[in-house]
Amino acid sequence: MVELLSILPAAAPGVAPRDTLGRPLRDLRISVTDRCNFRCVYCMPREVFGRDHAFLPRAELLTFEEIARLTGIFVDLGVEKVRLTGGEPLVRRELHRLVGMLAAIPGIHDLTLTTNGVLLTEQAQRLRDAGLGRVTISLDADDDATFGRMNDAGVPVAAVLRGIEAAEAAGLGPIKINMVVKRGWNEHAVLPMARRFRSTAHVLRFIEYMDVGESNGWRLSDVVPGTEILATLSAAHPLEALPPTVPGEVAQRYRYLDGQGEIGVITSVSQPFCGTCHRARLSADGRLFTCLFATSGHDLRQLLRGGADDDALQASIRRVWAARDDRYSETRTAATAAAAKVEMSYIGG
């Protein structure tokens, strides 16, 4: 890959790069930590991420100043939306300082954060005051027995609901609620979750269980396809489709015919959307990934700490994006699903 990138021409300065399939660079997802206070079965199963697991040393994490510098370069290349992820991003100390740095960068139109919500009770207002626009909160069931089994950290539903309330009170909306659906674990909670949130201003999104990383034991038979989820919902509460809010939106949007709210369904497995994917991912230790299902990344931290100027960093990012040909979900097979891939807790969801 290094040899290939060295001979690829970079796009002209000031011209937004496009990859080999013509996709522009619009979204940047930044993982600020690989640590989390949950051990969700589809992301950080406890048998792999136990007490002896070696997380990234602090010295290897990008500083807030390094993240802000790289983000500014990505914005110059066309990025308009920035999402902070993890791990659980709120376990990174003083995250509001980073939010303030990013909010000050001209050209970012949407600054968001994905979280399990538990620490929002303490941090929501501080994040909003620093410039965060909105949050997406993970909640995989609304009963303690199922949710506790999914998060494997003894966290009750009420702790997340308090975080949702704190985010709403702080003005971090519209709030999206993400529910990963895994067969045999929580598909029975689809309808109760819909009923809990359908009369609110929050948008509940159902996500097909994905084969990110190699530690969650993914099998295709564990996937509850979006069509099945929609059938369950529409049988109880009729739905109609809505157009995408923005081009390349990952969720298929629907609203209840009775006017009681909106839902989304993210079908990365059964109905891939690789053709409109314009997301890049930056790991907590400064590696650039061009796909959620990647096997390797490109080291930007070495360039940063080696004294590269902004032009050199921009040229490197341009070359990586110009070489991008990822469409993993469209070409997924049993063999590729079993292959070693970067863990979600490292790359960010």
Mean of the per-residue pLDDT values for the chain?
A: 94
Sheet containing 298-299: order of strands: 239-242, 252-256, 262-266, 203-208, 176-181, 134-138, 110-115, 81-85, 27-31, 279-282, 287-289, 298-299
Quick one: pLDDT band at residue 283, thresholds 50, 70, 90? very high
User: So what's the pLDDT on residue 340?
Assistant: 85
pTM of the model: 0.94
Q: Which residue has the tokens 């009963």?
A: 143
**pLDDT at 162 > cutoff 70:** yes
- Helix, strand, coil percent values for the chain (each to nearest 5): 35, 15, 45
**Rounded Cα distance, 243 and 92, in Å:** 36
**Rounded Cα distance, 98 and 282, in Å:** 15
Mean pLDDT, range 165-193, rounded to an integer: 98
**pLDDT at 1 > cutoff 60:** no
Tell me which of 160 and 337 has the higher pLDDT.
160
**Beta-sheet pairing, 287-289 with 252-256:** unpaired
Q: Domains of the chain (ranges plus CATH)?
A: 2-347 (3.20.20.70)
Q: Which residue has the tokens 């990365």?
A: 268
**pLDDT at 8 > cutoff 50:** no
Rg of the chain's alpha carbons, rounded to an integer? 20
For 75-133, the pLDDT digits (tens) are 999 999 999 999 999 999 999 999 999 999 999 999 999 999 999 999 999 999 999 99
Quick one: pLDDT band at residue 14, thresholds 50, 70, 90? low
CA distances from 147 to 92, 193, 316 (A): 24, 11, 42
Mean pLDDT, range 135-144, rounded to an integer: 98
How much of the chain exceeds pLDDT 70, in percent? 96
User: So what's the pLDDT on residue 15?
Assistant: 73
Mean pLDDT, range 182-196, rounded to an integer: 98
The answer to which of 6-10, 142-146, 294-298 has the lowest mean pLDDT is: 6-10
User: So what's the pLDDT on residue 288?
Assistant: 98
CA atoms within 13 A on the CB side of 253: 13
CA distance from start to end of the chain: 24
**pLDDT at 5 > cutoff 60:** no
Q: Which amino acid is at 68?
A: A
Quick one: pLDDT band at residue 7, thresholds 50, 70, 90? very low
User: So what's the pLDDT on residue 121?
Assistant: 98
Cβ count near 300 (within 10 Å): 23
User: So what's the pLDDT on residue 10?
Assistant: 45
Quick one: pLDDT band at residue 13, thresholds 50, 70, 90? low
Helix segments in the chain, DSSP class H? 2-7, 64-76, 95-103, 120-130, 144-151, 157-170, 190-197, 226-236, 301-305, 310-322, 328-331, 334-338, 344-347
